[in-house]
Amino acid sequence: MSAKDRHVVLLVSQWCPTCPHADAVWRKLQSEYGFKYEVLDISTPEGRYWVNKLLIRSVPSSVVDGKLAFVGVPSEEEARKVLEEGVTT
């Protein structure tokens, strides 16, 4: 699968001071690669879905192709690697 075919969901909350930094990393890479990108607040039904499905306990959390890829703010290099190679958990 190429990076442009990936689907990234960033789970955030309104009170999270580092979530905007994670969003900035993913938005920059989204503009380069063109993958589908969503930001979901964990208080919404869509956000709660991912929290419950993947047992997420901290934000920001990045879900790539349905798998938890990062908790916290990924470096651009780490995020780029996941986009190019996929999540290896």
Encode pLDDT of 6-56 as tens digits: 999 999 999 999 999 999 999 999 999 999 999 999 999 999 999 999 999
What is the rounded CA–CA span in Å between residue 81 and residue 58? 22
What is the rounded CA–CA span in Å between residue 87 and residue 17? 25
CB of 62 within 8 A of CB of 9?
yes
Structure tokens at 47: 């956000």
User: Looking at the domain covering 7-79, what would its CATH class be?
Assistant: alpha beta
Domain ranges of the chain: 7-79
Residue 1: what pLDDT?
Answer: 81
Structure tokens at 11: 């789970």
pLDDT confidence tier of residue 89, bands split at 50, 70 and 90: low
Total-model pTM: 0.94
Q: Residues 6 or more apart from 84 whose CB is under 8 A from it?
A: 3
